[in-house]
Chain A
Amino acid sequence: MEPVTMRVNGMSRSVFVAPHRTLLETLREDLGLTGTKHGCELGECGACTVLVNGVATLSCLLMTVAADGADVTTIEGVGSPTHPHRLQRAFADYGAAQCGYCTPAMVLTAKALLDRNPTPNREEIAQAIAGNMCRCTGYLPIVRAIASVAGSES
């Protein structure tokens, strides 16, 4: 078991983990942050996306030991139903979630985009979320929601 210390949603967290434990497993099972989802555990679907040092990252492909010292943001660090981030409000208002399973990862991917480019156009939004699968919505309301926050036409 290896000691790992990360900043998770602004708080310093230390865990002892096996070398093969993924960040996804650590967040969900050791830290109880179940807003991060697993869909394939092979880096294919994007449902496990979190921000590592501000970059949208597949937590199922990142070993926890490799995240030592990193700054990690999960959906729980973005906002809550009573204090939602404007992206979360937009996702709700535009019907960008149906089953809701891909939603936390979509919100985080969109946040990473807007943090580095506050006014993306539709093409830039699509490129940013192209690694996140959604099976319910056909992506269109997701793009509309992000575009509404970015002030761009959908």
Chain B
Amino acid sequence: MTVLDPHHGIVGRPGPRTDALSQAAGGPLYVDDLAFPGMLHGKLLRSSQAHARIVSIDTSAAEQLPGVQAVLTGADMPVEFGLLPVSQDEQALAIEKVRQVGDPVAAVAADDPDIAQRAIELIDVVYEPLPPITSMEEACEVVDEPIHGEGPKDNRHREVSLEFGDVDEGFDVAYHIREDVFFFQGNNHAALENHGAVALVEDDGRLHVWSSTQVPHYLHRILAKVLELPEGRIRVTASPTGGGFGGKTDVFSHELVTARLALATGRPVKITLTREEVFYTHRGRHPVLMWVRTGFTEDGEITAMWFRSYVDGGAYGSYGAASLLYTGQLQTVTYRIPAYRFQGVRFFTNKPACGAKRGHGTPQPRFALEVHLDKAAEDLGLDPVTIRRRNLVEPFSLTVNHLRITSCGLADCLDAVVSASGFEEKHGRLPAGRGLGLAVGTYLTGAGLPIYFNDMPQSEVMLKVDRGGGVTVFSMAADCGQGSTTMLATIVGEALGIEPSDLAVVTADTDLTPIDLGSYSSRVTFMAGNAALEAAQKLIDLIVVAVADEHDLETDRISLRKGVVLAGDRELPWAEAVRIAEARWGLLVTTGSYTPPKDIRGDYRGAGVGPSPAYSYTACVAEVDCDAETGVVAVRKVWIAHDIGRSINPLLAQGQVEGSVHMALGEVLMEEQAFRGALHDGPSLLDYKIPTVLEMPEVETILVESIDPEGPYGAKEVGQGPLLPVIPAVVNAVYDALGLRIDEIPLRPDKIIFALRDLERHGTNRFGPTDLPPYEFRPPLPVAPPPERQLV
């Protein structure tokens, strides 16, 4: 028997997380809750300078302070690292120079946090300041002291310039061409839990590191590299994560330093970052300036698109090489774009490095594209729904940039929110100050390629059955709140007919669990879920054969029902069937692995970013009230329909949608990681505003099930995609409400007021950027589109 269709009523049933009651009782031990006898407290000394050469570091006074057990500087751990193999540009502690305010320079471990704080204040660092680069315009200039490498050169980090099909011809045949410039300000994850790590040397001499991380496997690899130890000498445990959102998908100085301090002292060491340190450590959303030109037929069909991204990366590479490509790759996954040119550049600046945040590199272009499309619709005398319907991609098709689309419920999502919100009746007809806006989006269900090149599986799951019939699921998937542990229990439970609450799930520990690359790119349900399903199928096969032999029946007479195995007319308790199988086969352990298909990408340089085994789709309508006196935008209601493939657990899926709406509303209305020069504008949760319950509107969530042919039970992702259309839907709603085109987010009240005054005085209704950095892209590399665009 096979397990392709759910029939136990477990998948698709709304229910709480397996640890929900413990969470409500304060039970989970987050990394800062860990304490060990004799544990020391570590602290990092961080740079006060944005860009400077380190002349000298004098740690003697700190070393002599009673209670200080170890002091480290860059010389103690000189191996460079970085999450992406192409960006090995970070040091655990700065060696020759610092590149941003907050760069770690030295570290101490002391008997208590107060002593550690006094000790770092006693460290004397002499800096030779260098001219700081704090804007993309400055980063275009050739300078003697670039942020990385040797001058004279500019501060470009990466550039991409690609062309799929004949874009000039597409513009030549266009009836209408529109150009726009947009700016999406950077912002921070602001997970409630600050990052932290604990490390100790176990009795067998091996290093054990606990961290608040979404990527225990990558942390394991980088610890081994920087500490110059074999991976087998290191155990990494990902603690329950108090919110991730991508902010804990990088590997950080404090994790490496905590480990090094534990090795140096032989005692347990803990480092917990302060909120200010988290804002300076950052790795959040990149600020992106975007220019887009699109050609349309008279009916509104896209004939060609040219998209340019200027990405302010901050001081290090981090995920940036991928983030840059993501600002260009997924435009084609919602709309049929027959010819597409993408040019993008990421700059180094002396500000906290940006990285991955929910939607990774795609919310910025999605904002630009969806607002741009609304403007084009108006130019052409079309409404926002029609222009989108005329351009939607087809299910099971290839995009011009060689991405493979399989299941696609985008048209259903669009219809659902348009209908539920009454968009067609209300848009353009609401009283002044109130408006309705529409947008759509798409996101990966897991990155098609791993971070580091290899052809091994991206997720592996092991099942072990004990003699009482208990089943344990082993997976390295790290639950960052998204519910991956519950997902694994639900998928295995559905396959075996066992309640999720009766399964044991062991996760996120490099000693105990097989590989999962981590909780990023919305990959876990699809990849770990498929691996779990394969392992469950193998276990079922072992049991079916053993029971069939025992009862002298054909295997097609054996089937699983909830808690029992049916053998012909007999009904065996699960534990009895397991006993028969273990007697037949020995230890009952099965494994499953998931590797994405190889044929889902093109073969051009840059083709590794964007492919996914499946894409989720979302459509959103937002209704806003805008106060023309104060400039405050309040969102009244959000209708959001999401193509999830299949909902494994509708309660948790709805939670991901509503949480995405919250985060998107913060990004569009108020959140900004802004700087005065190189100094953060407000590195605290008092200054950096996130929406409270009072800013949260009613949300009507509609889950669309397109049943993906390759997803586990047909499932796709839900953790990130729903964020994407909410931002432009709100911006488009503000236009409907006030007639203002705000081409820059967040939609701060001062921008609205400025635009309203401009409208009164000059009749212009736009607030937003106009100038682009003085950067010359190299000519685009031509890439032939796939010959056949429709898959059979």
Interface residues of A (CB under 8 A from B): 28-29, 32, 34-42, 44-45, 47, 74-76, 78-81, 84, 87-89, 91-104, 107, 126-127, 129-143
Contacts and interface: CB of A to CB of B under 8 A. Distances in A.
Given A32-B35, A98-B482, A101-B30, 15 more contacts: A35-B26, A37-B30, A39-B193, A76-B26, A91-B20, A95-B16, A95-B17, A99-B192, A99-B480, A101-B192, A104-B26, A107-B24, A130-B693, A133-B690, A135-B243
Contacts of A135: 189-192, 243, 245, 659, 662-663, 690
Interface string B690-723: 1011101001000000000000000000000000
Contacts of B658: 137-138, 140-141
B481 interface: yes
Contacts of B662: 135, 137-139
A79 B481 CA distance: 22
A93 B20 CA distance: 8
A45 to B, nearest CB: 5
B788 interface: no
B192 A44 contact: no
B659 A137 contact: yes
Contacts of B27: 35, 80-81
Contacts of A136: 243, 481, 655, 659
Contact of A92 (B23, B28, B480, B693): B23
A78 B25 contact: yes
A83 B553 CA distance: 47
Contacts, number: 175
A42 B685 contact: yes
A126 B16 contact: no
B518 to A, nearest CB: 16
Which of A41, A107, A138 has the largest number of chain B CB atoms within 10 A? A138
A93 B16 contact: yes
B29 interface: yes
Nearest to B23: A100
Contacts of B17: 92, 95, 97-98
B23 A103 contact: yes
Contacts of A81: 21-22, 24-25, 27
Interface string B664-697: 0000000000000000000011100010111010
A35 B24 contact: no
B22 A142 contact: no
Contact of B693 (A29, A45, A139): A139
A65 B206 CA distance: 42
Given A34-B33, A39-B194, A97 B684 contact: no
B717 to A, nearest CB: 15
Interface string B5-26: 0000000000011011111111
B587 to A, nearest CB: 32
A92 B20 CA distance: 5
Contact of A35 (B25, B686, B693): B25
B693 A42 contact: no
B696 A99 contact: no
Nearest 10 CB-CB pairings of A with B: A35-B26, A99-B481, A101-B242, A138-B662, A100-B23, A92-B20, A75-B26, A88-B24, A98-B481, A34-B33
B294 to A, nearest CB: 33
B391 to A, nearest CB: 30
A70 B510 CA distance: 45
Nearest to B693: A139
B192 A98 contact: no
B694 A101 contact: no
B686 A44 contact: yes
Given A138-B659, A141-B655, A89 B25 contact: no
Contact of B242 (A79, A89, A99, A142): A99
A39 B686 contact: no
A99 B243 contact: yes
Interface string B27-63: 1111011010000000000000000000000000000
Given A40-B275, A100-B481, A139-B693, A95 B655 contact: yes
Contacts of A143: 693
Which of B20, B25, B193: most chain A CB closer than 10 A? B25
A134 B192 contact: yes
B652 interface: yes
Contact of A88 (B25, B240, B275): B25
A45 B686 CA distance: 8
A98 B483 contact: yes
Nearest to A97: B23
B684 A44 contact: yes
B651 interface: yes
Given A97-B17, A135-B191, A136-B659, A39 B483 contact: no
A95 B242 contact: no
A126 B193 CA distance: 22
